[in-house]
Structure 1
Amino acid sequence: MTPAELSRALLTTVRRAVDAAELAVEVPEKVVVQRPPRADCGDYATNVALQLAGPAGRTPHEVAEILRRRLAREPGIAGVRIAGAGFLNITLSSRAYGVVVRRVRAERERYGYGEGLADLRVTVAAAPGTVRGPLVAEVVNGLLRAAGADPGTAPEPLDPAEPAAPADLGGAPFTRASLEALLGRDATRWALLRPPAEDAPRLDAPARAALLAQTEANPLFRVRYARARARALLRNARDLGISADDEADTCTVEGSGGAHRGRVGDAASPAAQPGPSGPPGPPHHPAETELLGLIADFPRVVESAARRRGPDRVARHLERLADAFARFHDECPVLPKGDEKPSAVHAARLRLTDAAGIVLADGLRLLGISAPDRI
């Protein structure tokens, strides 16, 4: 279940509560869901109950309880809790997240593409004589196409105007060619696309050195390294004779005694055990939940970046995704260690690793930056 799908489920929940005369309000056009500040607050949170409380003539907590009871019965929802004055904290089931992972692995380079802007016909054009403007316009037009928009016949000026770019050592303004000669194509694109539109890119000597540093302090390196690390884990798994199989949530382990297949529920880890009733509960480890949520959120980020003409939104999301993958990698072993036997938990984490690598590559590709399998 993606954030957009969860938002639609919440709208349906409100509409059903209105139809059942439990709430006397107009159904809003959309419901906003966001990632909560802490992992113990669930996967997503919404303040829709606070928004509806006044028009409904009820307290936010009363509205939240009406919506909680109905939303908890929706497929893909593992639990809903009321927090604070009336926020709804929503936890998705691991089965719902499994659907997201399968979708990513099926769509691969098309994951993140949608039809949310299908009614829009527009082409963005940059003012001549700018360094960053043409590149931003190029990437924004690609994002618009990814979000379903069609090219327009009358170009739309890129707004706001580009801040002045720093000059090079000789005092002349930077050009794209002079930057690429110093930084290479990928680092140049990141340097120009990562800052928000209202901020000038930092291109002084220390900033240029930081863009080329192969360290964790460099966000571009972290993003590309996370992608390369995901690919390395998949190669290592194949070397060990382990492959992830989406069908029926099984893991296949090749060995001298032939192939062994085990279902997700067969593993001893509590992360793999089903809940007390109904579908399996959410992933046991918060690092898995955080990573899955960012993967599921990627199509919404692409559409938002296109709508707002802001490729920096994609770059920032990739940074968060790379950092979440690093935590997942450190705290949730993807491959068995020592004499440990491969389990369905390893298979599930391999699938998640593959999905993370795919999304990192997709985001970099939308920015026109390479995503190498090895660094």
Structure 2
Amino acid sequence: MTPADLSLTVQHAVRRAVDDGALRVDVPPRVKVERARPGGTGDYASNIALSLARPSGRSALDVAGVLKERLQGAPGILAVDITGPGFLNFTLRRDAGGDLVRAILAAGAAGAAGAAGAAGAAGPPYGHGSALSGTVVRFAEVTDSRARVVTDVVVRLLRSQGADAGFGGDERIHVLGGDYLPGTLGVDAARWSLLRAAPQDRVLDGPPLLVQHERNSLFRVRYAHARVRRLLVNGAQLGLRPSYETDIHAPELLGVLGDHPVALLSAARHRAPDRVARHLEATADALLAFQHTVLPLGDEKPSAAHRSRLALAEAAGTVLAGGLSLLGISAPDQI
């Protein structure tokens, strides 16, 4: 991990804290990191918590604690320590990208084995966890079409984080009205139109979601998944199999993949499926920017780097498919 990669990772942590409502600040366009000074801890340090303390109305130590929670376990980071009045100190890992990719692919393979009824206990899909274990949530039955779709997905999200969620209680999801038109738009576009908009916003206009264009967020997400499937097919034709063997410089894509568990937990806690949709858009955009580097070009011979990039692309496809599944939207192999 380079200093630029680390800077981007810390910036992502600030953005997640703002999205979660833990911090009320403007996300800085750049986060300064520098080599830890003599007597310090770890490899690098940042004063970001001190610079955000005043605008957030929190102490620097409080801000540092919020960011540390969102940085632990991030790709490339072995440990995060808080020193002095609120400096963040980072100890970097080796081959952290490989650990992340292998974890995603292993979770995806376990989920596929479980769905196929294979012997043995399949692990949970990547991003699912037990953070909300012991939480019981019961929703009242709703009649509004949008509220029904949103509540169904919120129940899925809560269960993905270990909560006991279902219907039969008094808690309600409050959203603006909106028609659910699967007969006109198809199930996928109809659900995306309702789920991509935040609860306080009106639903997305339906017809543009049927257009295969990069301005169509649903198309970008589903197309990115289809591109991964095509890369795997084309790679196999070249004798390439996905296997993360060498470190790949792809901080944006590795960053959003590492953010996936936090995005799902945040969406569950805030009853906000739109957070999942926005995270899938970010994942798709990072994958589509990365895709051109995956397979050999021209006279280039297949190498460990290509196998590693193919594994990273497959991990992105796994995240896209899992997120779309939670939203009740299909992930096609081709478009």
Q: Is the 8 A contact 2:146 2:177 kept in 1?
A: no
Report the counterpart of residue 272 of structure 2 in structure 1: 310
Q: How do 1:289-368 and structure 2 match up within 5 A?
A: 289-330=251-292, 333-368=293-328
2:134 pairs, out of 103, 113, 119, with: 119
Partners of 2:97 and 2:129 in 1: CA distance: 19
- Give unpaired runs (5+ residues) of structure 2: 2-8, 11-21, 35-43, 112-124
Q: How do 1:185-224 and structure 2 match up within 5 A?
A: 185-202=187-204, 207-224=205-222
- Give unpaired runs (5+ residues) of structure 1: 8-29, 54-58, 166-173, 250-263, 265-271, 273-282
Q: Deviations over 1:31-63 (max 9, x none)?
A: 9xx99745986999884456899xxxxx969x9
Residue identity over aligned pairs, in percent, reads 46
Q: Is the 8 A contact 1:136 1:193 kept in 2?
A: yes
Q: Is the 8 A contact 1:139 1:368 kept in 2?
A: yes
TM-score, normalisation: structure 2: 0.71
Q: Give the C-alpha shift of residue 153 in structure 1.
A: 7.4
Q: Deviations over 1:88-133 (max 9, x none)?
A: 48695451121111010000151111001002011333532x1200
Partners of 2:199 and 2:75 in 1: CA distance: 40
Partners of 2:141 and 2:224 in 1: CA distance: 32
Q: Which has the larger radius of gyration?
A: 1
Report the counterpart of residue 98 of structure 1 in structure 2: 98
SS of equivalent residue, structure 2 residue 283? helix
Q: Give the C-alpha shift of residue 219 in structure 1.
A: 0.2
The amino acid that maps onto 2:145 is: V
Q: Is the 8 A contact 1:124 1:140 kept in 2?
A: no
The amino acid that maps onto 1:193 is: L
Q: Is the 8 A contact 2:100 2:258 kept in 1?
A: yes
Q: Is the 8 A contact 1:115 1:149 kept in 2?
A: yes
Report the counterpart of residue 37 of structure 2 in structure 1: none
The amino acid that maps onto 1:334 is: V
Partners of 2:203 and 2:147 in 1: CA distance: 12
SS of equivalent residue, structure 1 residue 111? coil
SS of equivalent residue, structure 1 residue 364? helix
The amino acid that maps onto 2:310 is: L
The amino acid that maps onto 1:353 is: A
SS of equivalent residue, structure 1 residue 245? coil
Matched pairs, number: 278
Q: Give the C-alpha shift of residue 223 in structure 1.
A: 0.1
Q: Is the 8 A contact 1:122 1:154 kept in 2?
A: no
Flag the structure with more relative contact order, 1 or 2, with Cα contacts below 8 A and sequence separation at least 6. 1
Q: Is the 8 A contact 2:75 2:255 kept in 1?
A: no
Partners of 1:52 and 1:201 in 2: CA distance: 36
SS of equivalent residue, structure 2 residue 142? coil
2:149 pairs, out of 117, 132, 135, with: 135
1:164 pairs, out of 164, 177, 196, with: 177
Q: Give the C-alpha shift of residue 341 in structure 1.
A: 1.1
Q: Is the 8 A contact 2:221 2:280 kept in 1?
A: yes
Partners of 2:263 and 2:45 in 1: CA distance: 15
2:228 pairs, out of 203, 214, 230, with: 230
Report the counterpart of residue 256 of structure 1 in structure 2: none
TM-score, normalisation: structure 1: 0.64
The amino acid that maps onto 1:338 is: G
The amino acid that maps onto 1:195 is: A
Partners of 1:298 and 1:186 in 2: CA distance: 21
Partners of 1:141 and 1:193 in 2: CA distance: 13
The amino acid that maps onto 1:184 is: G
Q: Is the 8 A contact 2:45 2:87 kept in 1?
A: no
Q: 1:373 to 1:317 in 2, by over 3 A?
A: same
Q: Is the 8 A contact 1:35 1:45 kept in 2?
A: no
Q: 1:228 to 1:45 in 2, by over 3 A?
A: farther
Q: Is the 8 A contact 2:47 2:86 kept in 1?
A: no
Q: 1:318 to 1:52 in 2, by over 3 A?
A: closer
The amino acid that maps onto 2:307 is: A
Q: Is the 8 A contact 2:137 2:163 kept in 1?
A: yes
The amino acid that maps onto 2:260 is: F
Q: 1:41 to 1:196 in 2, by over 3 A?
A: farther
Report the counterpart of residue 20 of structure 1 in structure 2: none
Deviates more, 1:42-51 or 1:105-114: 42-51
Q: Deviations over 1:279-320 (max 9, x none)?
A: xxxx44xxx111011111111111111110000000000011
Q: Is the 8 A contact 1:123 1:151 kept in 2?
A: yes
Q: 1:104 to 1:39 in 2, by over 3 A?
A: farther
